[in-house]
Structure 1
Amino acid sequence: MRCALALIAALALPAVAHAEVAGTSSTAATYRVDPEGTRLMVLVRPRPSALFASLSHEHVVRASRVAGTVRWDPAHPEACGVALSIPVEGLVVDEPAVRKAVRLDGELDEGDRATVTKHMRAEGQLDLARHPKMAFEATGCRVTAAPGSGAMKLVVQGRLTVRGHAANVAAPVTVRFTAAALEVEGELSLTHAELGMSPYSAGLGTIANDELLRFRISVRATRPPPGG
């Protein structure tokens, strides 16, 4: 199916708002996002009511080249900071290994993947020409559980900006941390409407994407060495 998807990844996704607690905590640290160890993905299904839904593909888009920082203080987790930049050109469509990892059936050939990418970047979807980057900025975190040393369950609240439209999101995540590295994992569902978009459709709606977008978040960030 020829579709265009809205990422975010991450929606993905935590990284660093600029909220900080008064004073300086000895446990606070700023971590740098590792693009090789980070996997932000969005999955989209065909609209079930579309005439040719049974002939269409589900799709997965992975965000590569993610950059950003995570400000984290386990003594004050509510003051988390997250700032992510996601280039639209870095969105990769339907890689065979990624489709297999998220349990999507079949593979798309290179021609189909190129067509999906073209639609995804078009003016009616992510509009690469006018909006080359998406961004996420956290505004705060709310602790929901602390299952053990070095781990917390949080809801990360923030703004996801896609095509210049800022959407308020709340992503439930698990954070695992050490002095040297931090990992964030979670899932989130958003609608195209929440992102200020309409699902891709063609053929008078006989081919169309579902309204719902499902985000899978896996962010790894490391603490730079002093002076690094």
Structure 2
Amino acid sequence: MSDGKGGQGKATTDITVTQDGVYLNISYAYPEKYSVKTGKQMKLYSSAVAYNLDNNNKVNSIQITYSWSDNCGGEFDNPNAQNPTWTAPNTQNTSCTITLTVSTTDSNNNQISKSKSFSINVTSNSPPVINTISASPSMVEPDGKVNLYSYASDPDGDSITYSWTAKDSNGNDCGTFDDSTKQNPIWTAPMLDPQIETEKTCVITLIVSDGEVSDTKKVTVSVNGKTANTNIKIQKK
């Protein structure tokens, strides 16, 4: 049985039959996927049946209780739900065994249980990487426009976010962005007070994150009274 997301859930034919004529079976139990990164969530799926036959061989369904557990310190949003959400532990590169136990009772109130287990690999989360960052031009007049370019990738294929900031040598905000969350924004240089300074150096920082880990790189732009075409300066973290 396929879960439609790359995992395979195998139906079981190991049916428990009690002397009291109660039938109990776990039809299937499988995860959304068989590999997950630390701290990430996934859905677990299951189905079970319990019934008995009356004197006329009529099938009567019996109530079932579900109970999920693991051996690696993960968390279930509801361990007694049929299809709970499971959060992987923060232990990297480990294998977790998740077990579903279903239970019911016979007419004498004796508990009957069956269990089914499967394994999930918990892997580490690799940070995204800023492959390139540049500014053009790298020297502008006050209130001049600079095109910022970047390319970043994530080894795990996670979606990534961009965050740009600009500071001067005193740690103050330096200039503005048309959109500081874009991959390639436009930065506008600050105005200068000629009685205080005739030029300013702004360090523009890009942080790319997958929501858990990040990469940072910087590029420097000079602001003075005239525009000059110079080679792009890149300051690595």
Q: Which has the higher strand share?
A: 2
TM-score by length of 2: 0.28
TM-score, normalised with respect to structure 1: 0.28
Larger radius of gyration: 2
- The structure with the largest helix share of the pair is 1
- Answer 1 or 2: higher relative contact order, Cα 8 Å, separation at least 6: 1
